[in-house]
């Protein structure tokens, strides 16, 4: 009739893992492109490029996962990344070393996140509106700080974070490892720490969380501040890629990041989502964009494809949950 109880239960619990769906999607899309363009898509350099192109979205997605699981949203992430490239470039141009410049950028990101968190926690306005406001405000600040120009600065070695060194033994540049480390830290924090449990509880049911003695403003503030810090790290990586501070950079990045989290099983109603899933979601979008270019597909078809895959992935995920 059916498989033994224990096996079926184990299979069910495996399938119920939030990252299984995106993993299956990623592997199938990857295999599809690999079959269609075996001579270019399977090469190491293609993999290295894809890994590098995923770093910024992935880092932001780690923070966004926390925010979305907590029941919020952060639309300002693209503006924060642009602001961080400007701050990092300004610090480098002012003669500071790579470490100071990177720390200044990350601090700027964390401050932006803290601002979001403080506003959401105190104003009792939905995070969508608060971060819609900071999205515009921080973008303006980035443009003002940069004097409405790109900031040309000596990258002071920071460009090495996102550049593969032929002499290096590592197959991918340090930035990829930093993103992976951040993802592991984020996943551990969300799944195993007290703070992580409070984030999930707040997102699942704020009323219950409050009754169990969780300080919701504190959890909210910390969640957004952490997301800001992640955007700060992402901004440093973006500067490393660009070697200039660009206040117009990363327009619309927030949508890519949210898409990654949602493809990865995050629920915009809060309480659900995993860092691993979001990471897979981010990779899936890079693979689609890269594969489409390898196939020589025109840009407009790529955009339609990406949109379709987002909807299909999330539909399949919901259906899997119901089944």
Partner 1 sequence: MRRRELLVGGVGLAGAAACGGKSNKTRIAVIPKGTTHEFWKSVHAGAIKASRELDVEILWKGPLKEDDLKEQIGIVESFVSQGVSGIVLAPLNDKALVQPVKGAKNAKIPTVIFDSSLQGEEHVSYVATDNVAAGRLGGERLAKTLGAKGSVILLRYLEGSASTAQREQGFLEAMKANADLKVVSDNQYGGATTESASTAAETLLVAQGADKGQVAGVFCPNESTTFGMLLALEKLGLAGKVKLVGFDASDKLVAGLKDGKIDGLVLQNPLNMGYLAVKTMVQHLKKESIDKLIDTGARVADKENMDSAELKELLKPDLTPYLGQ
Name the site residues for partner 1 (rule: CB under 8 A): 37, 39-40, 43, 45-46, 49, 52-53, 143, 148-150, 152, 162-164, 166, 238, 241-244, 246-251, 289-290, 293-294, 296, 298-300
Least distance (Å) from partner 1 to the CB of residue 242? 6
For the stretch 186-193, contacts whose Cβ atoms lie closer than 8 Å and that sit 24 or more positions apart, written own/partner, are 186/62, 186/63, 186/65, 186/66, 186/230, 186/275, 187/274, 187/275, 187/276, 189/66, 189/226, 190/65, 190/66, 190/69, 190/274, 190/275, 191/274
Least distance (Å) from partner 1 to the CB of residue 146? 8
* Residues linked to residue 151 through DSSP beta bridges, in sequence order: 245
Residues 6+ apart with CB under 8 A from 267: 68, 273
Closer to partner 1 by CB, 56 or 115: give it: 56
Least distance (Å) from partner 1 to the CB of residue 299? 5
Least distance (Å) from partner 1 to the CB of residue 256? 11
Least distance (Å) from partner 1 to the CB of residue 148? 5
Least distance (Å) from partner 1 to the CB of residue 73? 23
3-state secondary structure of 203: helix
E strands in the chain: 151-152, 244-245
Closer to partner 1 by CB, 14 or 300: give it: 300
Closer to partner 1 by CB, 219 or 237: give it: 237
Closer to partner 1 by CB, 17 or 248: give it: 248
Closer to partner 1 by CB, 173 or 271: give it: 173
Closer to partner 1 by CB, 143 or 197: give it: 143
Q: Write a three-state SS string for 48-89.
A: HHHHHHHHHHHHHHHHHHHHHHCCCCCCCHHHHHHHHHHHHH
């Amino acid at each position: 009739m059916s498989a033994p109880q224990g096996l079926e239960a184990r299979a069910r619990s495996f399938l119920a893992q939030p990252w299984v769906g995106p993993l299956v999607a990623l592997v199938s899309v990857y295999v599809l492109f690999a079959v269609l363009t075996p001579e270019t898509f399977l090469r190491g350099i293609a993999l290295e490029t894809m890994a590098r192109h995923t770093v910024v979205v992935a880092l932001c997605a780690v923070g966004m996962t926390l925010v979305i699981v907590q029941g919020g949203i952060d639309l300002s992430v693209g503006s924060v990344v642009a602001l961080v490239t400007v701050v990092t470039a300004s610090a480098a141009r002012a003669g500071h070393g790579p470490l100071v410049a990177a720390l200044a950028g990350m601090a700027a990101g964390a401050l932006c996140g803290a601002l979001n968190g403080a506003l959401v926690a105190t104003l009792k306005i939905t995070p969508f509106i608060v971060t819609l406001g900071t999205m515009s405000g921080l973008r303006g600040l980035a443009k003002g700080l940069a004097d409405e120009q790109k900031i040309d600065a000596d990258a002071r070695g920071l460009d090495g974070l996102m550049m593969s060194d032929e002499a290096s033994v590592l197959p991918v540049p340090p930035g990829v490892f930093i993103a992976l480390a951040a993802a592991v830290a984020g996943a551990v924090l969300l799944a195993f720490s007290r703070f992580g449990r409070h984030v999930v509880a707040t997102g699942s049911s704020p009323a219950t969380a409050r009754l169990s003695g969780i300080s919701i403003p504190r959890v909210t503030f910390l969640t957004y501040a952490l997301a800001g810090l992640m955007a700060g790290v992402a901004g440093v990586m973006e500067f490393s890629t660009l070697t200039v501070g660009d206040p117009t950079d990363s327009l619309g990045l927030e949508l890519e990041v949210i898409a990654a989290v949602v493809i990865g099983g995050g629920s915009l109603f809060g309480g659900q989502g995993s860092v691993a899933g979001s990471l897979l979601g981010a990779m899936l979008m890079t693979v689609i964009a890269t594969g489409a270019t390898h196939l020589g597909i025109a840009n407009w078809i790529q955009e339609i494809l990406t949109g379709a895959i987002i909807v299909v992935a999330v539909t399949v995920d919901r259906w899997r949950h119901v089944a």
